[in-house]
Structure 1
Amino acid sequence: MLEALRAGLVQELLVARGVEESLVQELKTFDVRLKFAPRIELDQIAGTTDHQGVIADVEDLEWASVDDILDRAESKGEELLVILLDGITDPRNFGAIIRSAEVLGAHGVIVEERRSSPLTATVAKAAAGATSFLPVAQTKNLPRLIEQLKSDGVWVYGAAGEAARPMQQLDYQRPLALVIGAEGEGMRRLVREKCDELVSIPIRGQIQSLNASVAAGILIQHALASREAGAKK
């Protein structure tokens, strides 16, 4: 919520009567309306008692465009690193991937219009404010977008647990799109076929799979660390 306040996305804060005065004074430092109400009213709005006595009325999240993401990389003078999501419908996973992408330094996230969670308050909460800083775009057809990116010189790596090549064996010194598929199902066949390479994350434990958001974070971090190591040579 603090990230949304700093970004100016909060229109009004609903505050439970009786919360600590120090919290109220901190909230008053932001240019936002405060409305006080009984805690039970906040419980009913939130659908849970698990809150800190404050609910934010946040502006509707808006989709960016694919060009916004490409322009972001160009404006920074960096090789593109964009995350493509194929079938991530759980809003918490979606938000967690957005958060990892923003924190680690990717340039944006792109989802297919019919195979993704919408940009909801749950996504924004899981993203911990990252939706205010990282462009998130939709495409009508992910395989077609992959073809377009490849024609523009972008390499596409798809995450697949059974892939023969582990992440350490691939080249990250190029414009990249990393594809993350749905948990359990993975990427669709057509999406897999469009990828230049399939990449796996080495598994050393007994459990043979990772949460999609965790896998995304590992691959983003490895890609960017590999670029930094290459730049120092």
Structure 2
Amino acid sequence: MAGNSKRKGAVRKDGSKKGQTVGSGGQRRRGLEGRGATPKAVDRPYHPAHKRAKAAAKTTAGRPRSRKDDGPEYVLGRNPVVECLRADVPATALYVVTGSDPDDRVAEAVKLAADRAISILEVGKGELDRLSANGMHQGIALQVPEYSYVHPDDLMRDALDSGTPPLLVALDNITDPRNLGAVIRSVAAFGGHGVLIPQRRSASVTAVAWRTSAGAAARLPVAQAPNLTRTLKDWAETGAQLVGLDAEGDVTLDAYDGTGPTVIVVGSEGKGLS
């Protein structure tokens, strides 16, 4: 029965009753104050992770930094440099490594640069390695300035004021700069007024696009749109007709009446129109 002190196991031994215990008086709690969070492994001087990070920092300290996208571009290699100079790609300087093995391509590049009053600079191999981020320059590089894009509104306004029906081409996420250069060359050949590309996820007017355009990029304006869909809607409100190129379309180009303001939209290399 409950409370039966004679029941086996119910007898409390002397001295086993739990009484008051002496506390620390808060000393242990105060001793833990101010310690803060445990530092990360890489921040502990004697931790292996800290030693590995320190060794990695020493290894990469002398490596050249990669070139920023918004700075000048460098065309590397003897054939690409000569092709850019032949195509009248805008350039600010020609770099030639001192003591490099000359050939006909280097001689032609120097002559073309001199004829166009482009600065010719002799530099050491280490300096050109740094400028090109250790690219395969073959002892020669051409510095190309950043391309100057026009505003989409200005592109449409200039096309409307040209005296001829506006013909513009919008590229929906073309990613290969060679394709961009080919489109610029074709639009210029057909008497178009300009090309529109998205600001992101699209090829830009680099030296490769310049070279592929065969100099047309110097004559035909290219605009960048922060939002391609919104820009096309704004252009449609000006009276321009948007025409999307699709292999499964119902209307062929020879049957299309393009006498009015026209914007031809070309899809990407893979999925086409988005």
TM-score by length of 1: 0.66
CA distance in 1, matches of 2:87, 2:148: 14
Alignment length (residue pairs): 184
Instruction: Out of 31-40 and 111-120, give the one that drifted further.
Output: 31-40
Amino acid at match of 1:100: S
Q: Deviations over 1:147-174 (max 9, x none)?
A: 2112111011100000111112110111
Residue 41 of structure 1 deviates from its aligned partner by 8.9
CA distance in 1, matches of 2:203, 2:184: 12
2:248 corresponding residue in structure 1: 162
Q: Deviations over 1:173-231 (max 9, x none)?
A: 1110000001231111xxxxxxxxxxxxxxxxxxxxxxxxxxxxxxxxxxxxxxxxxxx
RMSD: 3.0
Residue 161 of structure 1: SS of its match in structure 2?
coil
Amino acid at match of 1:185: K
CA distance in 2, matches of 1:82, 1:137: 11
Structure whose alpha-carbon radius of gyration is higher: 2
CA distance in 2, matches of 1:168, 1:86: 23
TM-score by length of 2: 0.57
1:186 corresponding residue in structure 2: 272
Q: 1:127 to 1:47 in 2, by over 3 A?
A: farther
Residue 83 of structure 1: SS of its match in structure 2?
strand
Higher strand share: 1
1:96 corresponding residue in structure 2: 182
Determine whether 1:124 maps to 2:210: yes
Structure 2 gaps of 5+ residues are 1-83
CA distance in 2, matches of 1:103, 1:48: 34
Residue 96 of structure 1: SS of its match in structure 2?
helix
User: Which of residues 191, 195, 208 is equivalent to 1:105?
Assistant: 191
Identical counterparts, % of pairs: 32
- Map 1:1-233 onto structure 2 (within 5 A): 1-2=84-85, 5=88, 9-15=90-96, 18-20=102-104, 24-36=110-122, 45=132, 47-48=135-136, 55-188=141-274
CA distance in 1, matches of 2:204, 2:194: 16
**For the Cα contact (< 8 Å) 1:81–1:106, is it kept in 2?**
yes
**For the Cα contact (< 8 Å) 1:86–1:115, is it kept in 2?**
no
